[in-house]
Amino acid sequence: MHIFYQPNLLSTDILLNEEESKHCVRVLRMKIGDEVQLIDGKGTSAIAKIIDDNPKRCLLTIIEQTTHQPLRNYYLHIAVAPTKNFDRMEWFIEKAVEVGIDEISFIETENSERSKVNLERCEKIAISAIKQSKQFWLPKINGVKNCNQAIKELRNEGFKLIAWCETDVTQNLHSIITSSLHSKITNPPTHHITIFIGPEGDFSKTEVDNAIANGFVSVSFGESRLRTETAALYACIATNVLLAK
C-alpha cells in the first residue's frame, strides 16, 4: 500500500497538499475508493480511503488508526559538521534514518567548510527514508549551531561522545558503550546518547577540551581515517548494533 506523510492525523478527513495530491492522483493514478497508508512521523499510522481524487486537493477519510511504539530503547542524537559537498550529508540523513536515529543537528566548528544547510530538503529526505524503511517516527533535524554553544546546551543531557582522530587520547567506541552505557540501558525508559562528529579537518583541540569539560567522552572509530559522513553513519550503526533490542 502506498504511504503518504501527513503530520496531523487528528481529524477524520485528511486533505493532501498539492504535491502529494498530484503524486497520488496523477502519478499513482489512484481513484475514489482506493486505500493508502498515512503516517504522521510521530508514531501514528492510518488507513485512509480516497473520497475526492482531485489532483490538486485529494481528500481522504481515515478508516482506522494504529499507534506504534518506538523501535529503540535509546534516544540517539548525532551532531555533525556539514560537509562542503552537501550530497554527502543528504546521503548520511537517508542512511541514518533507515537504520534509526532520533535527532540530527548541524554544528559549525573552527574547521567547518559549510555554515548553512537547507532544512526543508533534509526533512524531505528523512520523510522519504521513513516511508522506504517502513518506520513511523520522523527524527528531529536542527539547523546549524555553533559547536561550543551546542556543547554548552547539552552539558546536562545524558551520555555524550565526541569523535576525534587523535587516537592517543581517545577510547574505542565498543568498549565505551559496552562498559559505560550498556548496563544503564533499560526498557522502556529511554537513554539519551549524543555523538559529535567533526569536519574533514577534525575538531580543534579547544573544541575537544571544551566538550570534555562539559561532560563529553572522546572516542575513536578505529585506525582508518573516515570521512565525516562515514563517521556519522558509523556512529549511528554502531549504537544500533550495540544497543538495539
Residues that bind its own copies in the complex, under the rule CB under 8 A: 71, 91, 95, 98-100, 132-135, 172-174, 222-227, 230, 233-234, 237-238, 240-242, 244
Alpha-carbon distance 196 to 80, whole Å?
A: 6
* Closer to its own copies by Cβ: residue 44 or 135: 135
Minimum distance from CB of 202 to its own copies (Å)? 14
* Closer to its own copies by Cβ: residue 116 or 227: 227
Tell me how many helices (H) and strands (E) the chain has: 7, 12
H or E element, residue 39: strand 35-39
Alpha-carbon distance 27 to 113, whole Å?
A: 39
* Closer to its own copies by Cβ: residue 41 or 100: 100
Long-range contacts of 223-226 (CB under 8 A, 24+ apart): 223/167, 225/165
Minimum distance from CB of 233 to its own copies (Å)? 7
* Closer to its own copies by Cβ: residue 57 or 68: 68
Minimum distance from CB of 172 to its own copies (Å)? 8
* Closer to its own copies by Cβ: residue 28 or 71: 71
Minimum distance from CB of 17 to its own copies (Å)? 26
* Closer to its own copies by Cβ: residue 161 or 233: 233
Alpha-carbon distance 190 to 244, whole Å?
A: 11
Minimum distance from CB of 50 to its own copies (Å)? 25
* Closer to its own copies by Cβ: residue 70 or 215: 70
User: Over the range 33-61, which residues count as b (16 or more CB within 10 Å of their CB) and which as e?
Assistant: ebebebbbbeebbbebebeebeeeebbbe
Q: In angstroms, how far is the first alpha carbon of the chain from the final one?
A: 28
Minimum distance from CB of 122 to its own copies (Å)? 18
Minimum distance from CB of 100 to its own copies (Å)? 6
Cell numbers describing residue 66? 494504529
H or E element, residue 176: helix 173-176
Q: How far is CA 41 from the centre of its chain?
A: 12
